[in-house]
Amino acid sequence: MVRVSAARTPDETRTVLDAGDIARALTRVAHEIVERTKGADDIVLLGIPTRGVFLADRIAECIHQIEGREIPVGSLDVTLYRDDLRRAPARALLPTSIPTGGIDDKVVVLVDDVLYSGRTIRAALDALSDIGRPRMVQLAVLVDRGHRELPIRPDYVGKNIPTAKTEKVLVHLVEFDGDDAVRLSGQPLEES
Amino acid sequence: MNRHLLSASDLDRDDALLVLDTAAELAALTDRAVKKLPTLRGRTVVNLFYEDSTRTRISFEAAAKRLSADVINFSAKGSSVSKGESLKDTALTLEAMGADAVVIRHPASGAPDRLAHSGWIGGSVVNAGDGTHEHPTQALLDAFTMRQHLAGGKGDLAGRKVTIVGDVLHSRVARSNVLLLSTLGAHVTLVAPPTLLPVGIETWPCEFSFDLDSHLSSTDAVMMLRVQRERMNAAFFPSAREYSRRYGLDVRRMNALPEHAIVMHPGPMNRGMEIAADVADSDRSVIVEQVTNGVNVRMAVLYLLLAGAQLGESEGSDRTAEVVAP
């Protein structure tokens, strides 16, 4: 049997989700959010910059089409709460904007592009507790690539993609990168 | 960013914009329930003040504390300095106590530079005003304030006209502002009596003039400098009254400014001398706002200098190398 992926060179990339796959995954996630929160009555979507914010906007638009209501969307930059700041030069801060209703007693759904170690989400949970006290916090991600380093799990997953730690998951979104695609690059699973 | 912030000229345009953008994001966080951020937990910032200061020291202290750093305040009065301890021995003491950053104000121009490059301490050095030389964080907060009012809070200050009036000779604020504002693309004009302009002013990246009234109508921001009597050992002008009439900002001169122009002062003010009380309290004045912005700008500086890996600290680069290596 031919192992296609084994023939790749390390810097080769392969597309795992195209624009249609991403749109369908986000629509499904939106439906799941509506179902699990029983109508998305008091939810607030908070995207984690950069790409999580665009994903949150798209999910909010889907929920708007399903339920016919505007869903509050904001962004939450977690840079100041990261535990790995001292491993790299200081990063520029990205915008944080909390919708006018605040997050107290709301169901906050954090939205990010890729779930990996879980450390970004830990930082986001810390940041949330400094902003207010949500009734519940849930997590939606476009891609779950595994390799968690903390006891954190997603509530809504666009696509589970098993990866090797040596691989990179590249998410491109129209709003920021000009096209919609999720690609894998680097050494594939079999060779790790 | 460099490891130290000693001069406004340490910052190129990108660095300066990074500080201002970071300060803007930090400013947006100040209306939250919990103002404190965990970013600099476990880091120690020493405020080493050899000269009196109210707002700069408090501002740095508030900035460091909001980022959860431990703050040690050291003022020359009531310390071993009054027993004759040298800057070097004080620095070695601070190093032995594990200071990650030293914020220094000193009456001697160049003291922060000496501290940063002597090898006495390993941490970052932030110049909080040295003699008549520089005060870079004041220039950053002034630029931040101008950007909020004149450039919509974004980008640089290209084409904006700033007039800085008064005791330029003794002013570290003026020097740092000229350097930073010209980096950000603003046109700066210094206005002062000839006796209060330093030698070599023609080499600065700005224009200068002896007449205030002719510049008012084309100014976007006017910054009044304090007449620094404590540094004046000669008669630089005939009398306070004459200085005030020729170079003070009174209501008549304020009304000659364009509609959108703002009035600034680094503080502390001599009301009635360089600025009339009615002007300082008018709605054109952004003097109180400058103080608020000072905390955010200093938080940004401490964050950018201290939060990331230090140059020479290899933890981060080693890890990256591991990941990249096939």
Q: Please give the C-alpha separations between residue A78 and each of A47, A119, A156, B65, B317, in angstroms, as whole numbers.
A: 11, 10, 20, 19, 22
d(CA B123, CA B200): 34
Residues B141 and B269 in one domain: yes
Tell me: the pLDDT tens digits for B20-75? 999 999 998 887 878 899 999 999 999 999 998 888 999 999 999 999 999 999 88
| A residues 142..171 contacting B (CB < 8 A) | 166
Query: Which residue on chain A is closest to B14 by alpha carbon?
Result: A92
Tell me which chain B residue has its CA closest to the CA of residue A164: B323
- Do residues B155 and B256 both lie within one domain? yes
Q: Quick one: B158 and B247 in the same domain?
A: yes
Enter the ipTM.
Answer: 0.83
Same-domain check for residues B143 and B226:
yes
- Give the per-residue pLDDT at B35: 87
Q: For residues B212 and B223, state if they share a domain.
A: yes
Do B152 and B274 lie in a common domain? Answer: yes
| B125 and B167, same domain (yes or no) | no
Q: Do A88 and B309 touch (CB under 8 A)?
A: yes
Residue B317 lies in a domain: no
**Count of domains forming chain B:** 2
Report d(CA B265, CA B226) in Å as an integer: 8
Give B32 to chain A, closest Cα distance, Å.
6
Nearest CB to B309: which of A80, A86, A94? A86
* Structure confidence by residue, pLDDT tens digits, B134-173: 999 999 999 999 999 999 999 999 999 999 999 999 999 9
Q: Does B29 touch chain A (CB under 8 A)?
A: yes
Nearest CA in chain A to B42: A86
Please indicate, yes or no, if residue B40 is contained in any of the structural domains.
Answer: yes
Q: What is the DSSP string of B257-291?
A: S-TT-EEE--S---BTTTB-HHHHTSTTB-HHHHH
From the list B22, B39, B320, which residue is nearest A92 (CB)?
B22
pLDDT for the residue numbered B325: 33
Residue A132 and residue B319: Cβ atoms within 8 Å?
no
The answer on pLDDT for A159 being more than 60 is yes
Task: Examine the domain organization and report whether B145 and B117 are in the same domain.
Answer: no
Q: How far is A1 from chain B (nearest CA, A)?
A: 26
| CATH classification of the domain holding B39 | 3.40.50.1370
Residues of A with CB below 8 A from B26's CB?
93
- Separation between Cα atoms, residue B140 and residue B305, nearest integer Å: 15
User: Is B150 inside any structural domain?
Assistant: yes
Q: How far is B123 from chain A (nearest CA, A)?
A: 14
| B14 domain-assigned | yes
Q: How does pLDDT run across B206-252, given as a tens digit for each residue? A: 999 999 999 999 999 999 999 987 777 778 888 888 999 999 999 99
Supply the pLDDT for residue B52. Answer: 85
Is A96 in Cβ contact with B29 (below 8 Å)?
Answer: yes
Chain A environment of B36 (Cβ under 8 Å): 130
Q: What length does chain A have?
A: 192
Is the sign of the CA dihedral B116, B122, B126, B128 positive or negative? negative
Q: What mean pLDDT is reported for chain B?
A: 90
Residues B116 and B149 in one domain: no
**Three-state DSSP class for B142?**
helix
Rounded-to-10 torsion of CA B279, B283, B286, B289: 130
CB contact under 8 A, A90 and B308: yes
Are residues B204 and B161 part of one domain?
Answer: yes
- Categorize the per-residue pLDDT at A11 as very low, low, confident or very high, splitting at 50, 70 and 90: low
pTM for this entry:
0.89
Within this chain, do residues B81 and B110 fall inside the same structural domain, yes or no?
A: yes
Type of residue numbered B255: N
CB atoms within 10 A of CB A18: 13
In chain B, the residue whose alpha carbon lies closest to the alpha carbon of A83 is B39
Residue ranges and CATH numbers for the domains of chain A are 18-164 (3.40.50.2020)
B67 and B113 assigned to the same domain: yes
On whether residue B2 sits in a domain, the answer given is no
pLDDT digits (tens, 9 = 90+) for A71-104: 999 999 999 999 988 888 888 899 999 999 999 9
Q: Is residue B116 part of a domain?
A: yes
Interchain pair B18, A92: CB under 8 A: yes
Q: Kindly state whether A10 is in contact with chain B, defined as any CB-CB distance less than 8 angstroms.
A: yes
For B15, nearest residue in chain A (alpha carbons): A92
Q: Please report whether residue B197 resides in a domain.
A: yes
- Residue span of the structural domain in which B198 resides: 136-286
In a domain, B192, yes or no: yes
